[in-house]
């Protein structure tokens, strides 16, 4: 990997021991793709907890596509003669070269990354500044964190890993902003809707009646459909969604206790037991394997 990568403290918060004037907390990863043939790459990614009167503009990164996901506080984006309010859960995409002013009179928290290189064709024709109201979504936040941590860790292949997570993020954005109509699939609509429900509510405790009611069938009928089409019960899939999310959090170096709480387990021992049942290793073993 390139030796030119800029390194920052693993857990952010300061720069050489000094808190930046604009932030109460920051955590940034920096990247390069000089060893890879790619059309674009993630140059930097961060999480910022901003003080009042925060402001950023095109001047900071004029040649980059900037993508913001605001998860706390309100801000305004001013571009040309337009002014729009950004609320918690709004995603902002600013193409390279577009003049704008992103500012807030109040405290603000957001994830952010920038892409350099060619315009990603997956985003369609190069648009003007775009805002997508996604809602405060934990899965979306996880993808932003994964991109950032890939840059911070800098493991072999990390530029490709970051691009891969970027595409996963786009799929999530499409899922949250598209009509509820489901595409064609060999799976029954009831099963697909139940799978989507379980994935979107994995942090919550499992309640068979809630899942069955969400898709309009009885508990017994839904269980029978899952055994036939998925090969496991809805509750088992719900656990699997929790553990898949837990793996991502452990890869981000969260503690086992923090990870358990983030995916909805108050009992860390029970979490560890379920983790081992589904992965054949303990959370501790998993962390050692990826480090």
In order of their start, the domains of the chain are 23-177 (2.60.120.280), 189-290 (1.10.10.60)
pTM over 0.85: no
* C-alpha span between 162 and 40 (Å, rounded): 11
Pair 230, 196: CB distance under 8 Å: no
* φ and ψ at residue 232, rounded to 5 degrees: -155, 165
State the Cα–Cα distance between residues 112 and 91, nearest whole angstrom. 10
Quick one: 3 exposed, middle or buried, by C-beta within 10 A (0-12, 13-18, 19+)?
Answer: exposed
Alpha carbons 26 and 50: distance in angstroms, whole number? 8
Read off the DSSP letter of residue 208.
H
Q: Show pLDDT as tens, one digit a residue, over the chain (291 residues).
A: 333 333 444 345 555 555 567 778 888 888 888 778 889 999 999 998 888 888 888 777 888 999 999 999 999 999 888 899 999 999 999 988 888 888 998 889 999 999 999 888 888 777 788 899 999 888 888 899 889 988 888 888 899 999 999 999 998 888 888 765 545 557 788 998 899 889 888 989 999 999 999 999 999 999 999 998 888 999 999 999 999 889 888 887 788 998 999 899 999 999 999 999 999 999 999 888 876
Cα angle 72, 45, 259; round to 5: 65
As a whole number of angstroms, the distance between CA 155 and CA 139 comes to 23
Give the span between the Cα atoms of 201 and 211, in whole angstroms: 10
């Amino acid at each position: 990997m390139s030796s030119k990568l800029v390194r920052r403290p693993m857990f952010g918060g300061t720069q050489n021991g000094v808190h930046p004037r604009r932030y109460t907390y920051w955590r940034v990863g920096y990247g390069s793709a000089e060893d890879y043939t790619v059309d674009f790459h993630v140059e930097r990614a961060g999480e910022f907890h901003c003080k009042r009167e925060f402001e950023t503009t095109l001047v900071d990164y004029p040649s980059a596509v900037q993508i913001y996901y605001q998860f706390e506080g309100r801000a305004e984006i001013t571009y040309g003669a337009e002014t729009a309010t950004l609320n918690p859960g709004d995603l902002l995409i600013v193409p390279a070269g577009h003049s704008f002013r992103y500012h807030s009179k109040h405290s603000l928290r957001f994830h952010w990354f920038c892409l350099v290189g060619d315009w990603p064709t997956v985003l369609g024709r190069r648009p003007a500044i775009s805002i997508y109201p996604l809602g405060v979504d934990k899965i979306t936040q996880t993808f932003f964190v994964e991109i950032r941590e890939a840059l911070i860790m800098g493991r072999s292949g990390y530029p490709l890993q970051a691009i891969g997570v970027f595409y996963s993020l786009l799929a999530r954005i499409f899922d949250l902003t598209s009509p509820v109509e489901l595409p064609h699939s060999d799976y029954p609509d009831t099963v697909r809707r139940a799978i989507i429900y379980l994935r979107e509510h994995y942090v919550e405790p499992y309640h068979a009646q809630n899942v069955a009611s969400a898709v309009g069938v009885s508990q017994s009928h839904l269980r029978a459909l899952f055994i036939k089409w998925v090969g496991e019960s809805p509750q088992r899939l719900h656990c699997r969604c929790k553990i898949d999310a837990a793996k991502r959090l452990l890869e981000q170096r969260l503690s086992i206790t923090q990870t358990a709480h983030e995916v909805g387990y108050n009992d860390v021992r029970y979490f560890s037991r379920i983790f081992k049942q589904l992965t054949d290793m303990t959370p501790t073993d998993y962390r050692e394997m990826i480090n």
